[in-house]
């Protein structure tokens, strides 16, 4: 997630939240899209707000590649950092917890409480490691559906998410059209470009080239920290923009007045990337990074549901859409969102689209932006009012 979150004043908070665990597929394993089975399966999730009497005000928020279930609020009174989207989720915020019941779960394959490569393999008595089955965006959404239904919710007012979270939003809208009233995919795509796949492959190779990776079996011998740090550095470059990097760093030197003529971090941008890589190693699992990037690369909505046609894929959808892109996002540029919108409109669906002027690159959906806040709150209130849910205006 964005480094800027550390510096943001997020306003009113939902307060203290608790991570919960939902476990299923104990007796009957989940058959994944790869054909392999997985069970039992645990999802870590958090909720905030209050579910209304007819359970019609639930919003599912889907996290991005390296996010988790901690979308808003704090774990303790002295917690120094709120959830990753605290700027958007909370009382009086665009996803208003005075009106909506918000659910966010960590995806399978992750490492923040949900079943993933570092989870114990019941058959082997040790972490799965690289024997963990490859999972897809579709598998993630199928698990989320089980969680949502376990809460007694049959229909979601909205599914919202950015980046890889936006892929999950799109998957929800075509896989379970009867369960979704509105979909808000932000800064996302219906399939990775060759360039996006290429960056992910370089990141994966950085991990697998680290001798400590040990073919994924490193939980007792030591993690591939260097490889994961480099992978994060590669990924982080794609989240920013040329303008944001020029504004933040340009060619300024780090703690020196002249070049060192060695391979230390001469430039601020070098020091920054090393810091981001090292910080990431403290909280994330290398194997999970491999699995989640592969899931993103495999995502292809038009092939999965439309036999190569995006229009045919979206013919399954029934909900309203708000699609948002950002001018400086070169990872998932606006032309990809426009292609999505065109296919949606050819199906006669209710679609709103906005390209937001923002200099900060792909990470822009995580940062304060009045335009995005107004769009999201207005859209959700309109959906809420059309569905006859009280408390919306």
The predicted-structure confidence for 42-51, as pLDDT tens digits, reads as follows 999 999 999 9
Residue 316, marked binder: no
pLDDT tier for residue 1 given thresholds of 50, 70 and 90:
very low
Burial of 145 (0-12, 13-18, 19+ CB in 10 A): middle
**Closest to 139 (Cα-Cα) out of 112, 116, 156:** 116
Judge whether residue 390 has pLDDT over 90: no
Q: How far apart are CA 94 and CA 267, in angstroms?
A: 38
The answer, yes or no, to whether residue 391 has pLDDT greater than 70, is no
How far is C-alpha 283 from the chain's CA centre? Answer: 16
Q: Is 4's pLDDT higher than 60?
A: no
State residue 100's pLDDT score: 97
Active site residue 236: no
CB 350 within 8 A of CB 317: no
Query: Is residue 187 scored above 80 in pLDDT?
Result: yes
Chain segment 302-344, per-residue pLDDT in tens: 999 999 999 999 999 999 999 999 999 999 999 999 999 999 9
Q: What is the pLDDT of residues 154-169, one digit of tens each?
A: 999 999 999 999 999 9
Q: Is the pLDDT of residue 6 over 60?
A: no
Quote the pLDDT of residue 7.
47
Give mean pLDDT, residues 104-113: 98
Asked whether residue 232 is marked as a ligand-binding residue, the answer is yes
Of the pLDDT bands very low, low, confident and very high (cuts 50, 70, 90), residue 274 is very high
Contact 172, 72 (CB under 8 A): no
Residue 12 confidence class, pLDDT cut points 50, 70, 90: confident
Q: Is the pLDDT of residue 5 over 60?
A: no
Q: What is the mean pLDDT of residues 175-191?
A: 98
- pLDDT beyond 60 at 2: no
Residue 3: the pLDDT is: 41
Choose, from 13, 105, 119, 163, the residue flagged as catalytic: 163
> Would you call 329 a catalytic residue per the annotation?
yes
**Given 70, 244, 329, 337, the catalytic residue:** 329
Q: Is a pLDDT exceeding 80 seen at residue 259?
A: yes
Give every strand in the sheet of 158-162, ordered side by side: 20-24, 41-48, 101-105, 58-62, 158-162, 182-186, 320-326, 351-356
Domains of the chain: 3-192+299-386 (3.40.50.1820)
| Mean pLDDT along residues 276-289 | 97
Q: What is the pLDDT of residue 27?
A: 93
Residue with more model confidence, 69 or 2: 69
At 14-55, the pLDDT tens digits run 999 999 999 999 999 999 999 999 999 999 999 999 999 999
pLDDT(392) > 80: no
Rounded average pLDDT over 65-81: 95
Distance CA 325, CA 183 (A): 14
Model confidence at 388: pLDDT above 90: no
Amino acid 10: pLDDT? 64
Q: Is a pLDDT exceeding 90 seen at residue 221?
A: yes
């Amino acid at each position: 997630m964005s480094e800027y979150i550390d510096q943001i004043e997020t306003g009113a908070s939902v307060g203290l939240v608790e991570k919960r665990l939902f476990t299923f597929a104990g007796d009957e394993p989940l058959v994944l899209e790869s054909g392999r089975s997985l069970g039992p399966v645990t999802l870590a999730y958090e909720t905030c707000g209050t579910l209304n009497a007819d359970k019609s005000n639930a919003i599912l928020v889907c996290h991005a590649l390296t996010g988790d279930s901690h979308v808003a609020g704090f774990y303790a009174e002295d917690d120094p950092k709120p959830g990753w989207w605290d700027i958007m989720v909370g009382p009086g915020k665009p996803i208003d917890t005075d009106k909506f019941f918000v659910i966010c779960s960590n995806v399978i394959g992750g490492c923040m409480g949900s079943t993933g490569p570092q989870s114990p393999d019941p058959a082997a008595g040790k972490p799965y490691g690289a024997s963990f089955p490859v999972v897809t965006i579709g598998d993630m959404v199928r698990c989320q559906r089980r969680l949502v239904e376990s809460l007694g919710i049959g229909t979601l007012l909205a599914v919202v998410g950015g980046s890889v979270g936006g892929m999950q939003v799109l998957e929800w809208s075509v896989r379970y059209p009867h369960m979704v009233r509105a979909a808000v995919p932000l800064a996302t795509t219906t399939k990775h470009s060759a360039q996006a796949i290429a960056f992910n492959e370089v990141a994966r190779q950085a991990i697998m080239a680290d001798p400590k990776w040990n073919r994924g079996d490193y939980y007792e011998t030591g993690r591939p920290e260097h490889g994961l740090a480099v992978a994060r550095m590669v990924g982080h470059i794609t989240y920013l923009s040329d303008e944001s990097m020029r504004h933040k760093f340009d060619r300024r030197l780090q703690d020196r007045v002249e070049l060192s003529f060695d391979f230390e971090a001469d430039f601020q941008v070098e020091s920054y990337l090393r810091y981001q890589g090292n910080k990431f190693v403290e909280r994330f699992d290398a194997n999970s990074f491999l699995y989640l990037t592969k899931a993103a690369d495999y995502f292809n909505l038009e092939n999965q549901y439309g036999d190569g046609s995006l229009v045919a894929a979206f013919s399954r959808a029934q909900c309203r859409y708000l699609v948002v892109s950002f001018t400086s996002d070169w990872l998932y540029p606006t032309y990809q969102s426009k292609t999505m919108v065109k296919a949606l409109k050819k199906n006669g669906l209710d679609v709103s689209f906005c390209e937001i002027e923002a200099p900060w690159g792909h990470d822009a959906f995580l940062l304060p932006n009045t335009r995005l806040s107004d769009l999201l709150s207005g859209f959700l209130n309109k959906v809420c009012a059309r569905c006859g849910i009280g408390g919306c205006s």
